[in-house]
Amino acid sequence: MALTDPTDWPGSMPDLRTIDNLLRCSICFEYLNVAMIIPSCSHNYCSLCIRRYMKYKRQCPSCNIEVSASELCNNRTLDELVKTFVAVRPYILKICKTFDAENQEGCPSSDKDLKTSKQQVKSGKSQVFASKQSPKKSTLAGHFTAVKPSKTAPVSNSEPYQAKTSADDFNVLDDDFVSPKLKSPSRTDRHSSNRLGTRPADDRSLVNQINDDVIDITEDFGTERPTASTSSSPAAGQATPIRRQATPRSNQATPSSNQAMPSCSQTTPSGSQTTPSGSQTTPGGSQTTPGGSRDKAECPVCGVPVPTKYINTHLDACLKRTQQTDTNKRIQKRKRIPAMVWKLVPDKEIKKKMRHYNLSIKGKRHELIKRLDEFILMYNAQCDAANPKSAEEIAKEVEKMEQLKTQPPQLKEAKVFKLKIEKGQTEDQMEKSKQEYLSAHKDQFSQLIAVARARMKGVKNKSSKTEAAGPNQTDASQDSNEAETSTSSEDSTASDRPVGSVTENSAVQELEDVMVLEDEVEKQQEDKRIPRDAAQDTSQEDAESDRTGSLFSEGSGGEEAMGNNGESEEMVMDTSESSLHMKQDDADLMASFSGSDVHGQADCRILVPSSPSVASKDGMEDSQSQNMTRAKNETSSVKSDPAPDSLEPLCIPESPLSVVAETRRRKRKKQDCGSNASDSGSSFGDGDNVLRRSKRERKMVK
Amino acid sequence: MATPWPMQKRLQNELLHLQRDPPVGISVNPNSASSTLTLWSVNVVGAPGSLYAGEHFQLQFTFGKRYPFESPEVIFIGGNIPVHPHVYSNGHICLSILTEDWSPALSVQAVCLSIVSMLSSCTEKKRPPDNTFYVKTCSKSPKKTKWWYHDDKV
């Protein structure tokens, strides 16, 4: 469906905008779908919207009044109103736009007319409207016919009315405004049918009189009056003015009034859908009464003429029957599913419930609960609808929505070359996606391998002497040569290279913030005559603590934002943490490769993309930072390493760094956590180092 | 119903509304909300007659997945961050409707108007008293701050 908005209406018709707005739910900004009213403040919302909101706060979104979900009531009139309005909206819109374009002066009046037209439609009396509109509006009437042919068709052809004067038109409008107040469709009908049975003589005379009248409402009203059989009687009360207005018109156009009569008899059944039998017999009853009305009376419930003696027993039976159907209806109305405290419900019970509702029971417990919650929400919302969907339908919808939600938008996925592995995947699936990823980026990998081999040759020539020495030394040499793969080395502090390079990167990111911060601090502290350096130092320290804090919070924030599978904590690694791992495990990894030849290195590279580290939640950020780090390391390697790296391909699908990091991470998981303490200690030192370094850089930039 | 996120449709609606019929002094940056709809920048002009009359500010809205039910993250960005007792120098705004008093019946437009009105009712241009401390210690998102709304005069 196309997007609709209150601003679709021309600005010259603010009232229409208001109407449009009023028919919308203020939570979803759509037209009300199963409107629920809050009785205490009379605000309306979609059933689903307000129920969903009730999970957050138990109050009215518009006025903050306290509400509980059980207080919500249906507002079917509003539902009907919305339904009708949405149906006629395009036509009204079209007309409004043409009017607006044609003639700016004509707008206010047309606006008013259109509003009344909406009232007409609402009260199900569009035919009266259609028959009495000026030619200008007859187009609109035509549109109505298109929308609701059954209602308008019989009368829309009544041409004579279209030649009316504008004054007459006004009268009609007045009448129509009065009509909804006087008559609520179904109830009065039932009333009139009751009366018809008991007072046949009156009815007959009334019907004769009404024949002169145009408006069906007046007829209904007339039948309701017990003794006021004449229109001139003062007891006719409210009905009288209508008739007075109506009479001259009927004099003017007698033939048309006859034309309009059939519509009267047709409206009656349509007006009272709830009691079809009663209203349908209304005309019949009044016609048959002349025959044998003396010894037979019409049953007020079912409308069948019954001998007067048996009327009581018949009435009892009739009432019993209607009561039964009432209870049936009540049973038919679906019961809502009560809210549950899932924490107290065991897995088994939840699964049983879900099976009962045809929901799939795949996934972890919290996923199940989420799914079931969503289902219950939609189910309860559907309970409010006039024709609720079946539980199976809702279950299907819930699962479909869930699928859509877990699928990230297509656009995004196309841009990110990442190996995605979700936590819930099986081994086979993971293997498959790995293979796919490998084949997709084969070219780039082979390129990388070639580059690495070329470099390794140089390394071999250079470090042939050092290879004979202990593993630690080998580590260092390999590391410095292989700037691309290695993020950090054991002896980096000695060579003044950044250790926690990933952290460093984030530190660089934070640098700007720190600068802003420093400036502020400086401003304030200059006033206090505090030496500038000291101020900077303190701010640096503060910034550092702030930075570590924000790093962690960012990590968790990113996870939250991603939302889909926030539970995959294992995958989610704080950047600083991962750097730590790298450092710690670097030695192991490098040790394992210490005696390795070119092939060994190549293997290590190939391993890289297949590692699930890529799937980490903060992947985007991660890869970015890693890319940056790599760039940095490259520059540093240019300094330390005589063999230049300039041939490196620019578009690398996945930084191999992350792969190495992943293998390390995995290794680490298997290891005991005993070494944690020392790690963290050193990492703090590294952080300091990084900061100092970044500061220096900034100064250089300055 | 058909869209996976209820927020998307509503955001589209809001954007359309704001672009077609913007209130005085408020305009959405059309490029900002192009692809994902989750990050908008809105230009706001200080109301005439107030201390900020004619000043141009930029607000950044970030919408979460649960948007109409949870408040958007709103901060001032750009070079000109208003000097106001409830606006920190990093752009964070201390405004109750942005956190605990949020209601799904509010919209981007309503938030913008409240912020403009908050600026307008200011009598003295100054930063919040705890600005330095807060800016140093706060998280990046103002939604993570536990705000304490004590002053309803400004």
Q: Which chain A residues have a beta carbon less than 8 Å from that of B104?
A: 26-27, 49, 53, 61
Q: Report the residue from A29, A542, A553 with minimal CB separation from B144.
A: A553
How far is it, in rounded angstroms, from Cα A178 to Cα A181?
A: 6
Average pLDDT over residues B50-60: 91
Digit-coded pLDDT (tens) for A538-572: 444 444 444 444 444 444 444 443 444 434 444 44
Q: Which chain A residues have a beta carbon less than 8 Å from that of B36?
A: 409
Q: Which chain A residues have a beta carbon less than 8 Å from that of B14?
A: 29
Q: Over 90: is that where the pLDDT of A466 sits?
A: no
Query: How close B45 gets to chain A, by Cα (Å)?
Result: 23
Query: How close A371 gets to chain B, by Cα (Å)?
Result: 14
Query: How close B53 gets to chain A, by Cα (Å)?
Result: 26
Is B13's CB within 8 Å of A543's CB? Answer: no
Looking at the complex, does the CB of residue A56 fall below 8 Å from at least one CB of chain B? yes
- Confidence band, pLDDT 50/70/90 cuts, at residue A329: low
Residue in A closest to B104 by C-alpha: A27
Residue with tokens 């208001």: A18
A474-482: long-range contacts, CB 8 A cutoff, minimum separation 24? A474/A590, A474/A594, A475/A586, A475/A587, A475/A590, A475/A591, A475/A594, A478/A590, A478/A593, A478/A594, A479/A586, A479/A590, A480/A637, A480/A640, A480/A641, A481/A455, A481/A637, A481/A641, A481/A643, A482/A452, A482/A455, A482/A601
Listed by number, the residues of chain A in 502-561 with a beta carbon closer than 8 Å to a beta carbon of chain B are: 516-517, 520-521, 524, 542-543, 546, 549-550, 553-554, 557, 561
- Confidence band, pLDDT 50/70/90 cuts, at residue B31: confident
Active-site residue identified among B94, B112, B122, B138: B94
Q: Report the residue from A6, A404, A517 with minimal CB separation from B4.
A: A404
Q: Which chain A residues have a beta carbon less than 8 Å from that of B78?
A: none
User: Is B138 labeled as catalytic in the residue annotation?
Assistant: no
Q: Over 60: is that where the pLDDT of B100 sits?
A: yes
Domains in chain B, CATH or no CATH each: 8-144 (3.10.110.10)
High-pLDDT (> 90) share of chain A, %: 6
- pLDDT score of A168: 41
Q: For the beta carbon of residue A449, count every other beta carbon within 10 angstroms.
A: 17
Region(s) of chain A under CATH 3.30.40.10: 6-165
A160/A395: higher pLDDT: A395
Query: Which of B103, B143, B144 is most worth mutating to test chain A (most A CB atoms within 10 A of its CB)?
Result: B103
Is B16's CB within 8 Å of A30's CB? Answer: no
- pLDDT score of A44: 93
Q: Report the residue from A61, A543, A546 with minimal CB separation from B104.
A: A61
- Confidence band, pLDDT 50/70/90 cuts, at residue A657: low
Looking at the complex, does the CB of residue A27 fall below 8 Å from at least one CB of chain B? yes
- Confidence band, pLDDT 50/70/90 cuts, at residue B154: low
A77/A586: higher pLDDT: A77
Q: Over 70: is that where the pLDDT of A340 sits?
A: yes
Most confident range (mean pLDDT) of A28-37, A413-422, B25-34 is A28-37
- pLDDT score of A157: 41
Q: Report the residue from A52, A53, A520 with minimal CB separation from B89.
A: A520
Is A29's CB within 8 Å of B70's CB? Answer: no
Query: How close A543 gets to chain B, by Cα (Å)?
Result: 7
Digit-coded pLDDT (tens) for A199-209: 444 444 444 44
- pLDDT score of A11: 78
- pLDDT score of A463: 64
Residue in B closest to A58 by C-alpha: B103
Q: Over 70: is that where the pLDDT of B141 sits?
A: yes
Is A7's CB within 8 Å of B35's CB? Answer: no
Q: Over 70: is that where the pLDDT of A634 sits?
A: no
With an 8 Å Cβ cutoff, the interface of chain B facing chain A consists of 1, 3-6, 9-10, 12-14, 16-17, 20-21, 35-36, 64-65, 68-70, 89-90, 103-105, 107, 132, 135-137, 139-141, 144
Whole-complex ipTM: 0.87
Annotate B63-75 with b (16+ C-beta within 10 A) or e (fewer).
bbbebbbbbbbbb
Terminal alpha carbon distance of chain B: 41
Q: For the beta carbon of residue B4, count every other beta carbon within 10 angstroms.
A: 16
Q: Which chain A residues have a beta carbon less than 8 Å from that of B77?
A: none
Q: Over 90: is that where the pLDDT of A648 sits?
A: no
Q: Report the residue from A405, A550, A553 with minimal CB separation from B4.
A: A405
Q: Which amino acid is at A302?
A: C
Q: For the beta carbon of residue A335, count every other beta carbon within 10 angstroms.
A: 8
Residue in B closest to A3 by C-alpha: B13
Q: Over 50: is that where the pLDDT of A484 sits?
A: no
Q: Over 70: is that where the pLDDT of B137 sits?
A: yes
- Confidence band, pLDDT 50/70/90 cuts, at residue B33: low
- pLDDT score of A580: 43
- pLDDT score of B83: 93
- pLDDT score of B92: 92
Q: Report the residue from A27, A409, A557 with minimal CB separation from B104.
A: A27
Looking at the complex, does the CB of residue A401 fall below 8 Å from at least one CB of chain B? yes
Digit-coded pLDDT (tens) for A116-145: 444 444 444 334 333 444 434 334 443 443
Digit-coded pLDDT (tens) for A623-632: 444 544 444 4
How far is it, in rounded angstroms, from Cα A139 to Cα B76?
A: 52
Most confident range (mean pLDDT) of A289-293, A358-362, A624-628, A634-638 is A358-362
Residue in B closest to A563 by C-alpha: B65
Q: Report the residue from A3, A64, A407 with minimal CB separation from B103.
A: A64
Residue in A closest to B62 by C-alpha: A561
Q: Which chain A residues have a beta carbon less than 8 Å from that of B69?
A: 27, 52-53, 56
Is B105's CB within 8 Å of A6's CB? Answer: no
Q: Which chain B residues have a beta carbon less than 8 Å from that of A7?
A: 16-17, 20-21
How far is it, in rounded angstroms, from Cα A692 to Cα A342?
A: 51
- φ/ψ of residue B98, rounded to 5: -85, -10
Average pLDDT over residues A682-699: 51
Is A520's CB within 8 Å of B70's CB? Answer: no
| Structural class in CATH, domain A6-165 | alpha beta
Average pLDDT over residues A256-268: 40
Is B21's CB within 8 Å of A554's CB? Answer: no
A481/A76: higher pLDDT: A76
Q: Over 70: is that where the pLDDT of A21 sits?
A: yes
Is B16's CB within 8 Å of A3's CB? Answer: yes
- pLDDT score of A327: 56
Query: Which of A23, A25, A29, A545 is most worth mutating to test chain B (most B CB atoms within 10 A of its CB)?
Result: A29
Q: Which amino acid is at A10?
A: P
Looking at the complex, does the CB of residue A322 fall below 8 Å from at least one CB of chain B? no
Average pLDDT over residues A482-494: 39
3-state secondary structure of A233: coil
- pLDDT score of A81: 92
Looking at the complex, does the CB of residue A674 fall below 8 Å from at least one CB of chain B? no
State the count of interchain CB pairs (< 8 A) between A and B.
83
A255/B51: higher pLDDT: B51
Digit-coded pLDDT (tens) for A353-402: 888 888 888 888 888 888 888 888 888 888 888 888 888 888 888 888 88
Average pLDDT over residues B116-124: 91
Is B69's CB within 8 Å of A56's CB? Answer: yes
Is B14's CB within 8 Å of A557's CB? Answer: no
- Confidence band, pLDDT 50/70/90 cuts, at residue A41: very high
Q: Which chain B residues have a beta carbon less than 8 Å from that of A557?
A: 139-141, 144
Average pLDDT over residues A661-679: 52
A445/A106: higher pLDDT: A445
How far is it, in rounded angstroms, from Cα A435 to Cα A697?
A: 42
Looking at the complex, does the CB of residue A130 fall below 8 Å from at least one CB of chain B? no
Average pLDDT over residues B125-145: 87
How far is it, in rounded angstroms, from Cα A226 to Cα A434?
A: 87
Most confident range (mean pLDDT) of A22-26, A186-190, A617-621, A667-671 is A22-26
Digit-coded pLDDT (tens) for B1-26: 444 566 788 888 888 888 888 898 89
3-state secondary structure of A113: helix
CB-CB contact of B50 with B120 (8 Å): yes
Q: Report the residue from A409, A542, A553 with minimal CB separation from B136.
A: A542
Average pLDDT over residues A229-242: 40
Average pLDDT over residues A8-25: 87
- φ/ψ of residue A280, rounded to 5: -65, -35
Q: What is the mean pLDDT of chain A?
A: 59
Annotate A531-560 with b (16+ C-beta within 10 A) or e (fewer).
eeeebbeebbebbbebbbebbebbbebbbe
Q: Over 70: is that where the pLDDT of A229 sits?
A: no
How far is it, in rounded angstroms, from Cα A511 to Cα A518?
A: 10
Q: What is the mean pLDDT of chain B?
A: 86
Q: Report the residue from A11, A57, A517 with minimal CB separation from B135.
A: A517
High-pLDDT (> 70) share of chain A, %: 34
CB-based contacts of B52: which residues, under 8 Å, 6+ apart?
A: B46, B82, B119, B120, B122
Residue in A closest to B137 by C-alpha: A546
Q: Which chain B residues have a beta carbon less than 8 Å from that of A397?
A: 1
